[in-house]
Structure 1
Amino acid sequence: MRRVRLAAIIAAVTCMSMAGQAGAVQGAKISSHIELAEAAADLQPGEWVWAPQIAADGPVTVLVDLTSQLATVYRNGVAIGISTVSTGKPGHETPTGVFQILQKDADHRSSTYNNAPMPYQERLTWDGVALHAGGLPGYPESHGCVHLPYTFAKELFQITSMGGTVVVTGRAGDPVTHPAGGVLAPIDELGNAAQHHALSADEQWEWNHQVPDAGPLSIIVSTTDQRVVVMRSGQEVGRARAVIDGFMGAHVATLHVSADGAHHWMLIGVPGHEDEAGRELDAAALNRLRLPEGFRTMLNDRIGEGTTVLITSASVGAHNSGKQMTLMAAND
């Protein structure tokens, strides 16, 4: 039994870790709720949240925050996962900048560190920086790679594609002054600062007609901000003030259109709300969502099969969306 356990521990430690350090074993915990923005402050080393149903389709971007040692995954401009990480230790700092995924190898082994396993490797630079499953002691301890919990790395590997964008920002060791990530992605699929538009005092709603009417639609309903934000193909396309009553906690639903044209918002059993799977969102509850008429018209003309709605208490305000980001150019 001891021999089997030792082998499992060694297999769970990557080339950037010391196999003899108990704290370097990969995390396998998962939080029980999907309030990603709020969960960020409470995650312990090895913990993560994964709820890809929040946005079932669209471009995927990854934001790694060296300051907070957290990685947030966005799809269609909406957060679907957040995880603790371990990045480069002093002298081997993980470079900041905008990177593309250059190589994917689920069973990769290091050519530099004694053939050590690097499960679910997603290469960011040809000189050895990558995302992969690795040790998570609670502080930066790698030789430059970004270590992820094993299962989180596996899930991420399955939804990313070659050329996908990974942004690394912050600086390890700096005080954390704000939570990393948020409900809305602060970056677009090219790694640039995303364009989020706070409503002015006299605006009830707005719609960006420059965003093409093509691609998956995600609707975020913030009960805290009393705002509704619409995302399409990773871009914010609309935002409105709303009166939102009667919703508690977080819920995710997707639209199904029956043969007679009737709309059915079916709840999805995401982590912490598994019992909701397969139930239909109460029409009476939807009637309590009051929107400006012009915005409702724009939305009704565009929603269709597969549209996803996230009802959340997390904010979509300026403090967690649309903040300015300074990025250093990545090395070739």
Structure 2
Amino acid sequence: MVKLLKAFMFAAMVTMAVGLSSCATSSHQAKLAPGEFEWHPERSSSGPVLMVVSIDDQMAYVYRNGVQIARSTVSTGRAGKETPTGVFTILERKVDHESNIYKGAKMPYMQRLTWTGIAMHAGQLPGYPASGGCIRLPYAFSEKVYGVLSNGSTVAITQKGTVPSYSKKPASVLLASRAQSPSNKAIPDPQGKVMWEPGRSRSGPYSVLLSYADKTAYVWRNGIKIGQSPVAIMPGANPPEGVFMKLEGGTGAQSWSVLSLNSGKVFGDPASAIANNVTLPREFRNKVSGVLTPGTILLATRESSNSNTMSKTNFGIVQPEAKQP
């Protein structure tokens, strides 16, 4: 499965009206006591589900097709056992699970985020970070969220709480090729081999990593790499980082959510800024256009992905494909 980047939070919106409503709701909600949660699945009945965990706030938020349907208090990792930040997909789920690290420790409604011991599960919530790295949830909430998530669902863990924002045309990042040089001439398509082997993984969610450091785009399905392509970046350009997620419905390819990196706020139109400074080969754009289904994640980052799919020890980009022992 795919583990994408550090210190993100998705902003999942379907329309500007929904986006503004969600912003107001997220930033002015009443404080919950440890162990409390809210659950309103009727606000959005279908679409891809995103769960966001804020370590500083000790809170989790659940969005379905861009609409917040739940929030809950949590307890994350204590000092020395901190919960890693990043964008993860759920690797494994068990209603009744016992910790492989802390023998005898019960982890009801366990949803695994890494093969190295990080998961979400029911547990005690003292009101501060107290776990061994996992995300503890109220028991009733863990049962409910287990019912709306599945293997491959996205969980974003960020240090700071952020407010959802909105961008209209993130699909243009992959499908457009309009980068212009300072002399107003289009940058040529990058030279290099395009790898496309969809037969390596025929089911599960798609994720796309656009690495400016590597000047490469990678496509995974269900955590297995199925595509790779060189990219060209306008000389002197500094395209923004961002995370995008395709939603269900809306106006065709424009129904996407957007997350600005680092600041927690989206300024301008990061998708257009990327598309105006980055070019992908036509062959790759044609192939990837067919995989942009609801739930697809696109991450644009300045970080590099090495042969072990990690850029540094505390900054995961993509988790290795094989299940770890």
**Normalization by structure 2: what TM-score?**
0.47
* Bigger Rg over Cα: 1
TM-score by length of 1: 0.46
